[in-house]
Structure 1
Amino acid sequence: MAPKLRLLIVEDDPMMQLGLGQALGEQFAVVGYAEDGYGAIDLTRQLQPQVIVMDIGLPRLDGIAATQRLKREFPDIRVVMLTSHQSALEAVAALSSGADAYCIKGERIERLLMAIAAAQEGATYLDPQIARHVIQHLHSPQPTMDYHLSQRELDVLKLMVEGYSNPEIAGKLFLSPNTVKTHVRGILNKLAVDDRVQAAVVALRNGLV
């Protein structure tokens, strides 16, 4: 008998974490649970899962940034992104980060199983609920936007999209943490977004990085 697929679940909601573990534990070997992106990276190094089921809206390091880091360090690992939102922009950003599948929470477990199977085989899976919106979004003409970002803000934004924290950005760009914090605040204001995940979505969609 072939060994079960090794699965890591990354979810900060304890009830959702429990539900995913119970739903997937019969078919797969659930090797561990993480509550944020940093935990996902640490446990991947320790436990060597083959597939990661990753919530997109994680504390500290979100699913998009965590996926980018994981794919750089473990290019063969498969990531199934989970979200409660039906946002075409978010789906595009998730797939651009390297995710192999994008699945809506709360749907039938069969869809998640299909997403895992597709990812395991090296295919890309997009939840049917969002697929049509993504295609429409990609094919619709997008207005050319000038966000008036300075070169330093673009440097900071690139590292934000790659998942680096403010202290890490400060070290890479030889800036003080307070200066980076000011740049991040300015970037969020200019992009008219509320957080780093939304900034990554806008940056990836508009080719800013």
Structure 2
Amino acid sequence: MSKTASKPKLRILIVEDDPMMQLGLEQTLSTVSDFEIVGQAEDGYLAIEAAATLKPDVVVMDIGLPRLDGISATKQIKEKFPNMGVVMLTSHRLQTEVVAALSSGADGYCIKGANIERLVTAIQAAKEGGSYLDPQVARLVMNNLHPVVPAEKREALHTLSEREMEVLKWIVEGKSNNEIAEILYLSPNTIKTHVRGLMNKLSVDDRVQAAVIALRSGLV
């Protein structure tokens, strides 16, 4: 009788200089059955070395790190390993820092102290090649990126189907494809198709840009 091959776990590198926070993250994320903590680093330079050595699927990165900050470390990691996911987990909420982090290539931005489910969602989204933006900082990005939505972008919103519009609203809420699939009782592949369709209609490259257009246009 053949055994079903187990699904490989999502490998995570934690970059955090606070020992207590580092321990808390390791213990919390280890409770997620699909996750495996493969290493930890205390500063930006060590993070780059660990990323190269351990080849994690996703790096959970703090911004305020000694020697080399998390934004600079993320930029170097994404330049070397563009398919490696990076999720910023930080207490920093300044508009300039949020935008700088996303500009460095970060796939997600989470605020420390928020519901752990948001971090799990961000990690899963990064692994899938998606993006996640904590609702607490979404409007900061909205006010900086495309302060005025071009008329063609606003008009493009009206070309979205009812289902695509529904999916877009859940993207703004920070939901992953799998979560949206559960909410709408559809398959993840169907949701991926809708996401791809709405991104094409809005002429954007990622979910964050789509969310920004929705927010700036008063959709939510």
Into which bin does the TM-score normalised by the smaller protein fall? Answer: 0.5 to 0.7
Q: Report the CA distance between 1:86 and its aligned residue.
A: 1.8
Alignment partners' CA distance in 1, 2:124 and 2:76: 23
Alignment partners' CA distance in 1, 2:21 and 2:39: 14
Q: Which residue of structure 2 aligns with residue 9 of structure 1?
A: 14
Q: Which residue of structure 2 aligns with residue 116 of structure 1?
A: 123
Of residues 58, 61, 66, the one that matches 2:68 is: 61
Q: Extract structure 1 runs of 4+ deviating beyond 3 A.
A: none
Alignment map for 1:98-109 (pairs within 5 Å): 98-109=105-116
Do 2:60 and 2:88's aligned partners in 1 also have CA atoms closer than 8 Å? yes
Say which structure, 1 or 2, has more relative contact order (CA 8 Å, 6+ apart): 1
- Match of 1:61, SS state, is coil
List gaps (5 residues or longer) in structure 1. 142-209
Output the TM-score relative to the length of structure 2: 0.62
Q: Which residue of structure 2 aligns with residue 38 of structure 1?
A: 45
Alignment partners' CA distance in 2, 1:47 and 1:113: 20
Residues 119-154 of structure 1: CA deviation (Å, up to 9, x unaligned): 11111111000001210233448xxxxxxxxxxxxx
Q: Which residue of structure 2 aligns with residue 165 of structure 1?
A: none
Alignment map for 1:147-166 (pairs within 5 Å): none
Give the residue type in structure 2 aligned to 1:13. D
1:25 and 2:17 matched:
no
Give the residue type in structure 2 aligned to 1:76. N
List gaps (5 residues or longer) in structure 2. 1-5, 149-220
- Match of 1:31, SS state, is strand
Q: Over aligned residue pairs, what C-alpha RMSD do you find?
A: 1.2
Alignment partners' CA distance in 1, 2:82 and 2:102: 14
Alignment partners' CA distance in 2, 1:108 and 1:15: 18
Give the residue type in structure 2 aligned to 1:127. D
